[in-house]
Structure 1
Amino acid sequence: MGLGSTAKKIQGLSDRAEAMYKQVQKLQQRITNLEGEVDDTHDTVERIDHQLSEQRQLLLAIAEEQGIDGEQILAEAAIDEAELDDEESTATDDTATDTVDTEPSETTAE
Protein backbone atom coordinates (compact mmCIF):
# COMPACT_ATOMS: atom_id res chain seq x y z
CA MET A 1 0.00 0.00 0.00
CA GLY A 2 1.41 3.34 -1.06
CA LEU A 3 1.57 6.57 0.83
CA GLY A 4 -1.02 8.08 -1.51
CA SER A 5 -3.76 5.66 -0.52
CA THR A 6 -2.85 6.03 3.15
CA ALA A 7 -3.07 9.82 2.85
CA LYS A 8 -6.49 9.49 1.16
CA LYS A 9 -7.74 7.25 3.98
CA ILE A 10 -6.44 9.65 6.60
CA GLN A 11 -8.07 12.58 4.76
CA GLY A 12 -11.35 10.65 4.60
CA LEU A 13 -11.20 9.94 8.32
CA SER A 14 -10.38 13.56 9.01
CA ASP A 15 -13.34 14.73 6.92
CA ARG A 16 -15.70 12.35 8.73
CA ALA A 17 -14.34 13.41 12.11
CA GLU A 18 -14.89 17.06 11.21
CA ALA A 19 -18.46 16.34 10.08
CA MET A 20 -19.15 14.45 13.32
CA TYR A 21 -17.66 17.31 15.34
CA LYS A 22 -20.02 19.76 13.62
CA GLN A 23 -22.97 17.47 14.37
CA VAL A 24 -21.93 17.28 18.03
CA GLN A 25 -21.73 21.08 18.17
CA LYS A 26 -25.24 21.35 16.70
CA LEU A 27 -26.53 18.83 19.23
CA GLN A 28 -24.92 20.74 22.08
CA GLN A 29 -26.62 23.93 20.87
CA ARG A 30 -29.99 22.15 20.61
CA ILE A 31 -29.58 20.74 24.11
CA THR A 32 -28.71 24.18 25.46
CA ASN A 33 -31.80 25.64 23.77
CA LEU A 34 -33.98 22.82 25.13
CA GLU A 35 -32.65 23.40 28.63
CA GLY A 36 -33.64 27.06 28.34
CA GLU A 37 -37.10 26.11 27.11
CA VAL A 38 -37.51 23.61 29.95
CA ASP A 39 -36.53 26.28 32.47
CA ASP A 40 -39.03 28.71 30.92
CA THR A 41 -41.76 26.06 30.96
CA HIS A 42 -40.98 25.24 34.59
CA ASP A 43 -41.28 28.91 35.54
CA THR A 44 -44.57 29.19 33.66
CA VAL A 45 -46.00 26.09 35.36
CA GLU A 46 -44.98 27.41 38.79
CA ARG A 47 -46.60 30.77 38.03
CA ILE A 48 -49.83 29.11 36.82
CA ASP A 49 -49.86 26.82 39.84
CA HIS A 50 -49.50 29.82 42.15
CA GLN A 51 -52.30 31.67 40.33
CA LEU A 52 -54.54 28.61 40.52
CA SER A 53 -53.94 28.35 44.23
CA GLU A 54 -54.83 32.03 44.67
CA GLN A 55 -58.00 31.59 42.61
CA ARG A 56 -59.03 28.57 44.66
CA GLN A 57 -58.65 30.53 47.88
CA LEU A 58 -60.65 33.39 46.40
CA LEU A 59 -63.45 31.06 45.27
CA LEU A 60 -63.54 29.38 48.67
CA ALA A 61 -63.82 32.79 50.35
CA ILE A 62 -66.65 33.81 48.00
CA ALA A 63 -68.41 30.48 48.60
CA GLU A 64 -68.10 30.99 52.36
CA GLU A 65 -69.60 34.48 52.05
CA GLN A 66 -72.54 32.95 50.19
CA GLY A 67 -73.01 30.26 52.83
CA ILE A 68 -71.72 27.47 50.60
CA ASP A 69 -69.35 24.81 51.90
CA GLY A 70 -66.66 25.02 49.23
CA GLU A 71 -64.49 22.33 50.81
CA GLN A 72 -67.40 19.88 50.68
CA ILE A 73 -67.98 20.66 47.02
CA LEU A 74 -64.29 20.13 46.27
CA ALA A 75 -64.30 16.83 48.18
CA GLU A 76 -67.35 15.61 46.28
CA ALA A 77 -65.76 16.64 42.98
CA ALA A 78 -62.59 14.76 43.87
CA ILE A 79 -64.62 11.65 44.71
CA ASP A 80 -66.54 11.92 41.42
CA GLU A 81 -63.30 12.35 39.48
CA ALA A 82 -61.73 9.35 41.22
CA GLU A 83 -64.78 7.24 40.41
CA LEU A 84 -64.64 8.29 36.75
CA ASP A 85 -60.94 7.50 36.59
CA ASP A 86 -61.62 4.10 38.15
CA GLU A 87 -64.43 3.39 35.65
CA GLU A 88 -62.22 4.41 32.73
CA SER A 89 -59.39 2.26 34.04
CA THR A 90 -61.71 -0.71 34.47
CA ALA A 91 -63.17 -0.21 31.00
CA THR A 92 -59.69 -0.05 29.50
CA ASP A 93 -58.65 -3.20 31.34
CA ASP A 94 -61.82 -5.03 30.23
CA THR A 95 -61.31 -3.99 26.62
CA ALA A 96 -57.73 -5.15 26.66
CA THR A 97 -58.49 -8.54 28.20
CA ASP A 98 -61.78 -9.42 26.54
CA THR A 99 -61.71 -11.21 23.24
CA VAL A 100 -65.04 -11.16 21.51
CA ASP A 101 -65.81 -13.65 18.76
CA THR A 102 -67.36 -11.49 16.07
CA GLU A 103 -67.82 -14.33 13.60
CA PRO A 104 -71.23 -16.00 13.72
CA SER A 105 -70.99 -19.55 14.85
CA GLU A 106 -71.84 -22.11 12.26
CA THR A 107 -74.13 -24.95 13.15
CA THR A 108 -74.66 -27.88 10.90
CA ALA A 109 -77.96 -29.62 10.69
CA GLU A 110 -77.74 -33.36 10.30
Structure 2
Amino acid sequence: MGFGDTAKRIQTLADKAEQTYQKLNELRDEVQHTQTTVTDTAERVGRLENELAEQRAILNAIAEEVGVDLEATSAEAHISEAEHIEAEHVEAEHIEAASDDDTADATADGADEAETS
Protein backbone atom coordinates (compact mmCIF):
# COMPACT_ATOMS: atom_id res chain seq x y z
CA MET A 1 0.00 0.00 0.00
CA GLY A 2 1.45 3.34 -1.04
CA PHE A 3 1.29 6.77 0.48
CA GLY A 4 -1.33 7.77 -2.09
CA ASP A 5 -3.80 5.18 -0.79
CA THR A 6 -3.12 6.21 2.80
CA ALA A 7 -3.62 9.88 1.99
CA LYS A 8 -6.85 9.05 0.17
CA ARG A 9 -8.15 7.07 3.16
CA ILE A 10 -7.20 9.84 5.56
CA GLN A 11 -9.00 12.38 3.36
CA THR A 12 -12.10 10.15 3.21
CA LEU A 13 -12.01 9.79 6.98
CA ALA A 14 -11.61 13.56 7.41
CA ASP A 15 -14.56 14.19 5.05
CA LYS A 16 -16.76 11.78 7.00
CA ALA A 17 -15.69 13.38 10.28
CA GLU A 18 -16.62 16.83 8.91
CA GLN A 19 -20.03 15.54 7.75
CA THR A 20 -20.63 13.98 11.17
CA TYR A 21 -19.62 17.22 12.90
CA GLN A 22 -22.04 19.22 10.73
CA LYS A 23 -24.83 16.74 11.42
CA LEU A 24 -24.18 16.94 15.16
CA ASN A 25 -24.35 20.74 15.01
CA GLU A 26 -27.68 20.53 13.13
CA LEU A 27 -29.04 18.09 15.71
CA ARG A 28 -27.82 20.32 18.56
CA ASP A 29 -29.68 23.26 17.01
CA GLU A 30 -32.84 21.18 16.59
CA VAL A 31 -32.69 20.00 20.20
CA GLN A 32 -32.18 23.56 21.43
CA HIS A 33 -35.14 24.75 19.35
CA THR A 34 -37.29 21.91 20.69
CA GLN A 35 -36.30 22.71 24.29
CA THR A 36 -37.21 26.36 23.76
CA THR A 37 -40.56 25.39 22.26
CA VAL A 38 -41.30 23.04 25.17
CA THR A 39 -40.43 25.75 27.70
CA ASP A 40 -42.58 28.33 25.92
CA THR A 41 -45.47 25.88 25.69
CA ALA A 42 -45.21 24.99 29.38
CA GLU A 43 -45.32 28.68 30.29
CA ARG A 44 -48.37 29.21 28.05
CA VAL A 45 -50.14 26.21 29.55
CA GLY A 46 -49.43 27.54 33.04
CA ARG A 47 -50.92 30.92 32.16
CA LEU A 48 -53.98 29.28 30.61
CA GLU A 49 -54.49 27.09 33.68
CA ASN A 50 -54.35 30.19 35.90
CA GLU A 51 -56.84 32.01 33.67
CA LEU A 52 -59.13 29.00 33.71
CA ALA A 53 -59.01 28.83 37.51
CA GLU A 54 -59.84 32.54 37.73
CA GLN A 55 -62.73 32.16 35.29
CA ARG A 56 -64.03 29.13 37.17
CA ALA A 57 -63.94 31.06 40.46
CA ILE A 58 -65.85 33.96 38.88
CA LEU A 59 -68.38 31.57 37.35
CA ASN A 60 -68.85 29.81 40.69
CA ALA A 61 -69.43 33.13 42.43
CA ILE A 62 -71.97 34.24 39.81
CA ALA A 63 -73.74 30.85 39.90
CA GLU A 64 -73.94 30.96 43.68
CA GLU A 65 -75.31 34.50 43.61
CA VAL A 66 -77.93 33.59 41.00
CA GLY A 67 -78.80 30.31 42.72
CA VAL A 68 -77.62 27.84 40.08
CA ASP A 69 -76.57 24.40 41.34
CA LEU A 70 -73.25 23.95 39.55
CA GLU A 71 -72.82 20.34 40.61
CA ALA A 72 -76.18 19.36 39.12
CA THR A 73 -75.51 21.37 35.96
CA SER A 74 -72.06 19.82 35.61
CA ALA A 75 -73.47 16.32 36.16
CA GLU A 76 -76.12 16.91 33.49
CA ALA A 77 -73.47 18.11 31.04
CA HIS A 78 -71.30 15.05 31.71
CA ILE A 79 -74.26 12.72 31.27
CA SER A 80 -75.22 14.38 27.98
CA GLU A 81 -71.64 14.17 26.74
CA ALA A 82 -71.39 10.49 27.73
CA GLU A 83 -74.67 9.73 25.96
CA HIS A 84 -73.44 11.53 22.84
CA ILE A 85 -70.16 9.61 22.86
CA GLU A 86 -72.02 6.33 23.39
CA ALA A 87 -74.35 7.11 20.48
CA GLU A 88 -71.36 7.83 18.22
CA HIS A 89 -69.73 4.58 19.34
CA VAL A 90 -72.88 2.55 18.61
CA GLU A 91 -73.24 4.23 15.22
CA ALA A 92 -69.61 3.46 14.37
CA GLU A 93 -70.11 -0.19 15.36
CA HIS A 94 -73.26 -0.34 13.21
CA ILE A 95 -71.40 1.09 10.21
CA GLU A 96 -68.50 -1.32 10.76
CA ALA A 97 -70.89 -4.28 11.02
CA ALA A 98 -72.66 -3.21 7.83
CA SER A 99 -69.31 -2.90 6.07
CA ASP A 100 -68.32 -6.37 7.27
CA ASP A 101 -71.66 -7.74 6.01
CA ASP A 102 -71.08 -6.11 2.60
CA THR A 103 -67.60 -7.62 2.44
CA ALA A 104 -68.95 -11.05 3.37
CA ASP A 105 -71.72 -10.72 0.76
CA ALA A 106 -69.22 -9.73 -1.92
CA THR A 107 -66.99 -12.66 -1.00
CA ALA A 108 -69.93 -15.05 -1.10
CA ASP A 109 -71.09 -13.61 -4.44
CA GLY A 110 -67.61 -14.11 -5.85
CA ALA A 111 -67.60 -17.73 -4.66
CA ASP A 112 -71.06 -18.31 -6.18
CA GLU A 113 -69.91 -16.91 -9.52
CA ALA A 114 -66.83 -19.12 -9.47
CA GLU A 115 -68.98 -22.21 -8.87
CA THR A 116 -71.35 -21.38 -11.75
CA SER A 117 -68.55 -20.70 -14.22
- Using the size of structure 2 for normalisation, the TM-score is 0.75
Q: RMSD of aligned C-alpha atoms?
A: 2.6
How has the CA–CA distance of structure 1 residues 90 and 32 changed in structure 2, closer, same or farther, with 3 Å as cutoff? farther
Q: Look up the match of 1:33.
A: 33
After TM superposition, which residue ranges in structure 1, 4 or more long, deviate above 3 angstroms?
86-92
DSSP-derived class of the 1:68 partner: coil
State how far apart, in whole Å, the 1-side matches of 2:41 and 2:94 are: 36
Aligned residues: 106
Mapping of 1:1-110 within 5 angstroms?
Answer: 1-92=1-92, 94=93, 98=97, 99-101=100-102, 103=106
Q: Deviations over 1:11-50 (max 9, x none)?
A: 1111111111111111111101111110110111111012
Name the one with the larger helix percent.
Answer: 2
Shift of 1:90: 4.3
- Using the size of structure 1 for normalisation, the TM-score is 0.79
What percent of counterpart residues are identical? 40
Structure 2 residues not aligned, in runs of 5+: 113-117
